[in-house]
């Protein structure tokens, strides 16, 4: 298939300038990142014991600016546990009165020893009304965390990937209910029975390569080998897909939900087949540049995390290891992204506000399948039904040593982003429940 012409922005940089409270410094926001130079699949929680407490957990928080006013598996339970409680009728996020306690929530998570750092940002109608951070940027304890720093976003990358696929649907180049075989012949066994939609909403039944220890080790020997060698390896998406699909599917297509990164590697391959460019290039061209997401990137193989950032750690029995650097090719279109809280809020505002997709495709993205526990999954976008807060839309991201969340009201008027550096064996959904509820519903 012939490559696409240079893709034109779905929205212009000028068109999103109103989302900022002040003009962006540094010239053309489509071309230059504030932090300089423009990972790996979402991993299951690693079972480790005997983990030492993180140094610096009682560090002073960064100064805060305030406005004047998954499947029926652990992944699904984690998503639901972000909020606690049970669903109730949607009525949207509440006012800003509860934000005064957010710094305390951030510090409480750090003080629990579950993370070495965390941060949060709340945006309403394009204005940052609250941002803050707590903890230390690395275990030396010499530098506090900056709430504007960059971090690996893990599976939040899926929302970017799904948005590009849906833009191609809107252009008439992909049909959601067409079989994968029509676009990627021979890539998947039973590709004629699996639709593009089923890739994006995790109802394909395809085996998740994250369940294979050669990709995501969980024992001490495997983790030590990952630190020494595995994190520097370059992986091929087609090769990973071939390996994953050599394993039996979880169920027949469309019969159930099972979160699988294999689906999104295929979505990235689909983008490349249709456009003639990599999924990374299409995300850059269609989303990052048009929205002026200056600190967002979708790396291919570079292990670097450039610019201002806090570190992330893998805790072995022998002690903590800095895991900030890692080749992101294992994650690819399922989880390779890097961003900031400000950029993620802007992306979500544009997406849910109708700036990136036509109404028909945005409606398809919001159509969900039930995951239970008060969570449903659309096309790269989760729906959370939250007690006392109503319906929220967003996604979770997790990688080794890091977790992130972005969510907001369905109309795109209010966005919340939180992230943290996990330390050891941590149920991130449990430790972030209070913070996420306070930020989203306060």
> pLDDT tens across 245-302, in order?
999 999 999 999 999 999 999 999 999 999 999 999 999 999 999 999 999 999 999 9
SS3 content of the chain, % helix, strand, coil (to 5): 35, 20, 50
Report the pLDDT value the prediction gives residue 6, as an integer from 0 to 100.
58
On whether residue 287 sits in a domain, the answer given is yes
Q: What percent of the chain has pLDDT over 90?
A: 70
On whether residue 51 sits in a domain, the answer given is no
Q: For 13-29, how does the pLDDT look when each residue is reduced to its tens digit (9 = 90+)? A: 333 323 222 222 233 22
Locus of tokens 């294979």: 212
Report the pLDDT value the prediction gives residue 69, as an integer from 0 to 100.
25
Least confident of 8-12, 18-22, 80-84, 323-327: 18-22
* pLDDT at 9 > cutoff 60: no
For residues 63 and 339, what is the distance between their CA atoms, to the nearest angstrom? 21
Task: Using CB atoms within 10 Å of the CB of residue 172, give its burial: 0 to 12 exposed, 13 to 18 middle, 19+ buried.
Answer: exposed
How many structural domains comprise the chain? 1
Helix (H) / strand (E) containing 348:
helix 341-352
The chain-wide mean pLDDT, for the chain, equals 82
Name 399's bridge partners. Answer: 402
* pLDDT at 64 > cutoff 60: no
Contacting residues for 412 by C-beta, under 8 A, at least 6 apart = 348, 349, 350, 351, 352, 353, 354
On whether residue 315 sits in a domain, the answer given is yes
**What is the token pair recorded at 409?**
């009201």
Q: For 67-95, how does the pLDDT look when each residue is reduced to its tens digit (9 = 90+)? A: 222 333 444 445 555 544 333 333 334 45
On whether residue 74 sits in a domain, the answer given is yes
Q: For 112-134, how does the pLDDT look when each residue is reduced to its tens digit (9 = 90+)? A: 999 999 999 999 999 999 999 99
Helix (H) / strand (E) containing 324:
none
* pLDDT at 97 > cutoff 90: no
Q: For 367-385, how does the pLDDT look when each residue is reduced to its tens digit (9 = 90+)? A: 999 997 778 999 999 999 8
Of 62 and 109, which is predicted with more confidence? 109
Report the pLDDT value the prediction gives residue 425, as an integer from 0 to 100.
72
**SS3 call for 127:** strand
Model confidence, pTM = 0.83
On whether residue 153 sits in a domain, the answer given is yes
Which residue, 121, 129, 131, 127, is CA-closest to 19?
Answer: 127
Band of residue 433 on the pLDDT scale cut at 50, 70, 90:
confident
The answer to whether 213 and 221 have CB atoms below 8 angstroms apart is no
**What is the token pair recorded at 215?**
């990709």
**pLDDT (average), residues 36-64:** 30
Instruction: Compute CA 260 distance to the chain's CA centroid, rounded to the nearest angstrom.
Output: 14
**What is the token pair recorded at 441?**
């519903």
* pLDDT at 59 > cutoff 60: no
* pLDDT at 38 > cutoff 60: no
On whether residue 10 sits in a domain, the answer given is no
Which domain, by its residues, includes 407?
61-441
On whether residue 334 sits in a domain, the answer given is yes
The answer to whether 312 and 371 have CB atoms below 8 angstroms apart is no
For residues 230 and 252, what is the distance between their CA atoms, to the nearest angstrom? 33
Task: Using CB atoms within 10 Å of the CB of residue 97, give its burial: 0 to 12 exposed, 13 to 18 middle, 19+ buried.
Answer: exposed
Q: For 175-191, how does the pLDDT look when each residue is reduced to its tens digit (9 = 90+)? A: 999 999 999 999 999 99
**What is the token pair recorded at 270?**
């689909």
The answer to whether 377 and 71 have CB atoms below 8 angstroms apart is no
**Annotated active-site positions, please?**
155
Residue 148 phi, psi dihedral angles, 5° rounding: -95, 5
Report the pLDDT value the prediction gives residue 428, as an integer from 0 to 100.
74
On whether residue 197 sits in a domain, the answer given is yes
CA 41 to each of CA 55, 74, 231, 261: distance values in angstroms, whole numbers, following the listed order? 27, 16, 11, 7
Radius of gyration in angstroms for the set of CA atoms belonging to the chain, rounded to a whole number: 20
Q: For 148-205, how does the pLDDT look when each residue is reduced to its tens digit (9 = 90+)? A: 999 999 999 999 999 999 999 999 999 999 999 999 999 999 999 999 999 999 999 9
**What is the token pair recorded at 288?**
């990052």
Sequence length of the chain is: 442
**SS3 call for 264:** helix
Band of residue 107 on the pLDDT scale cut at 50, 70, 90:
very high
> Where does 330-387 show beta strands of DSSP type E?
337-340, 369-372, 375-377, 382-386
Ramachandran bin of 36, using left for φ above 0, alpha for ψ from -120 to 50, beta for the remaining angles: left
Locus of tokens 């275990």: 139
Name 91's bridge partners. Answer: none
For residues 181 and 193, what is the distance between their CA atoms, to the nearest angstrom? 8
Report the pLDDT value the prediction gives residue 373, as an integer from 0 to 100.
74
For residues 129 and 121, what is the distance between their CA atoms, to the nearest angstrom? 8
Q: What is the CATH number of the domain that holds 212?
A: 3.40.710.10
């Amino acid at each position: 298939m012939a490559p696409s012409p240079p893709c034109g922005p779905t929205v212009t940089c000028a068109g999103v300038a109103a989302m900022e409270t002040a003009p962006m410094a540094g010239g053309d926001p489509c071309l230059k990142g504030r932090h300089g130079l423009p990972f790996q699949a979402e991993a299951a929680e690693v079972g480790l014991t005997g983990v030492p407490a993180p140094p610096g957990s009682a560090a002073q928080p960064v100064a805060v600016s305030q406005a004047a006013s998954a499947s029926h598996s652990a992944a699904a339970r984690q998503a639901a546990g972000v909020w606690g409680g049970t669903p109730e009728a949607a009525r949207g996020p509440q006012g800003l009165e509860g934000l005064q306690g957010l710094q305390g929530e951030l510090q409480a998570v750090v003080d629990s020893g579950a993370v070495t750092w965390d941060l949060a940002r709340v945006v309403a109608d394009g204005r940052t009304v609250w941002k803050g951070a707590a903890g230390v940027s690395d275990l030396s304890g010499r530098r506090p965390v900056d709430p504007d720093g960059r971090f690996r976003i893990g599976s939040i990358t899926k929302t970017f990937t799904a948005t590009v696929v849906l833009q191609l649907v809107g252009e008439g180049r992909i049909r959601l209910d067409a079989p994968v075989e029509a676009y990627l012949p021979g890539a998947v066994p039973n590709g004629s029975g699996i639709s593009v939609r089923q890739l994006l909403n995790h109802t394909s039944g395809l085996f998740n390569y994250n369940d294979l220890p050669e990709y995501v080790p969980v024992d001490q020997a495997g983790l030590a080998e990952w630190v020494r060698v595995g994190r520097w390896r370059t992986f091929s998406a087609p090769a990973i897909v071939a390996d994953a699909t050599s394993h039996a599917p979880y169920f027949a297509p469309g019969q159930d939900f099972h979160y699988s990164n294999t689906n999104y590697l295929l979505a990235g391959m689909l983008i490349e087949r249709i456009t003639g460019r990599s999924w990374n290039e299409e995300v850059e061209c269609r989303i990052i540049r048009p929205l002026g997401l200056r600190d967002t990137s979708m790396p291919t193989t570079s292990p670097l995390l450039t610019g201002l950032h806090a570190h992330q750690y893998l805790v072995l029995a022998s002690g903590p290891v800095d895991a900030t650097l890692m080749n992101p090719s294992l994650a690819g279109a399922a989880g390779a992204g890097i961003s900031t809280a400000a950029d993620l809020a802007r992306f979500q505002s544009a997406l849910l506000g109708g700036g990136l997709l036509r109404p028909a495709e945005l409606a398809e993205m919001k159509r969900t399948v039930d995951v239970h526990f008060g969570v449903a999954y659309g096309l790269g976008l989760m729906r959370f039904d939250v007690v006392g807060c109503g319906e929220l839309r967003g996604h979770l991201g997790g990688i080794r040593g890091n977790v992130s969340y972005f969510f907001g009201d369905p109309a795109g008027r209010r966005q919340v982003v939180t992230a943290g550096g996990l330390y050891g064996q941590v149920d991130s959904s449990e430790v972030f429940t209070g913070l996420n509820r306070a930020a989203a519903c306060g």
